[in-house]
Structure 1
Amino acid sequence: MSNDERRDSLADQAAAWVPPWERPTPAAPAADGPVGDGEADAGAGTRPGDVETSDTALPVADQAVDQPSAATIPEEPADRAAATGEGGAAGVPRKQPAPRRRATPAPEPAPELDDAELRGALEAILLVVDEPVSELTLAQVLEQRPERIGPLLDEIAAGYTAAGHGFELRRAAGGWRLYTRPEYATYVERFVLDGQSVRLTQAALETLAVIAYRQPVTRSRISAIRGVNCDGVIRTLVSRGLVEECGAEPDSGAFLYRTTTMFLEKLGLNSVADLPPLAPFLPDDVEEFADATR
């Protein structure tokens, strides 16, 4: 046989070769007697894909072409695949899972203070404030429910009054602050002023009264009510913090003025609605006077 014929024969045999795991399982030889349990188990245990061992020699083509079988391919250890991150397609690294973010625990609510401790904390804060402080601010600082602050402040104020202290807790300018009692004002003035009198002039008091009852009001309106120019007096009231600008009049563009929180604090008022009415202080012939000035 020539070399060309031998190569053609080997190629035909290689093309016709069937792997062992794809070959049909040969039927078991018939036996004269009943099939034993051992033989039945042996036949049942044979599955497609198992490597058969037979005394029959394989053809030359089977011996010449050596194809790896599923049983002979070594399986990669699971721990190595996990360590190298390989999986899925060959040579493609497995995507590492994103680390889980640990949820931030919610802050624990502040413990609720008992009435005695809350009372002491309120008194300590009120001793150092330089202006009235609101109930909401006190509740936020102490981390307590706002509905507990108001009744307890009323109770503290009533206790100071009943005990006859030289000071009192009073609501003013939308907040709470400690004040000296009016009956001890002369002693306090003597200590603070030390003989120096700092008082507003009559013109400043009149201008301040007009602004308090007619606010917001312009300079021209104040001057028309008083009958004199009030520019210098208004500058004095602004510099002392009793009056402030609050916008402009839409029609004329003139500045508007109103009283400040310090004004309420100095007079011990909670709002301008607490100002005394003017009717008792007006003269009886005010209407005749108004008609005469028109």
Structure 2
Amino acid sequence: MNLLMARAIIEALIFSSSEPISNKTLADILGINEHTVKQMITDLIEERIQNKSGLQIIEVANGYQFVTHPDCAPYVEKLQKTPRNVGLSQAAIETLAIIAYKQPITKAEIESLRGVSIESALNTLVEKNLVEEGGRKDAPGRPILYRTTCQFLKYFGLNDLSELPKIPEWVDSGEYLKFGMEQNGGAQNEKMDEKNV
């Protein structure tokens, strides 16, 4: 892998991650050492600063993420005040699929199935009224249980949960959950007003 491709992949990974992505994670994905990744990120950060790019890479919470340049803030705020019709992010779709098929389910159980933090995706789903609290689990700490809402049924054009696509025994459930939700939600995604996915 050449340097330009590695840098492009790093940018794509930082951009695609809903949470700050660590130097170690980037190095593991690319199969190169952390020092090299760190140097490439430092170069990318400097280039974006020198070019006065509207998107900057910052280090936060032991990871990296893209943010808009502070000088662009007034214009970004105008956009955020303008209603937009966009669909759910991939992370939100996967999280919603798990809740739909496994409900009621706790945040920890969802994260165990997805293998990543779902904080942002879950907050988005609650804000959009697709998911709600459905009581507390009878377990230590009494964690919150999540379930889908009536708005969820409307959004995906379902009368009730029995209309969710069935998961064949031979299909990996995680992949099918994602596929099923995308199929049901594909035509409906444009109807949702999105603030932050």
TM-score by length of 1: 0.29
Q: Which has the larger radius of gyration?
A: 1
* More contact order relative to length (CA 8 Å, sep ≥ 6): 2
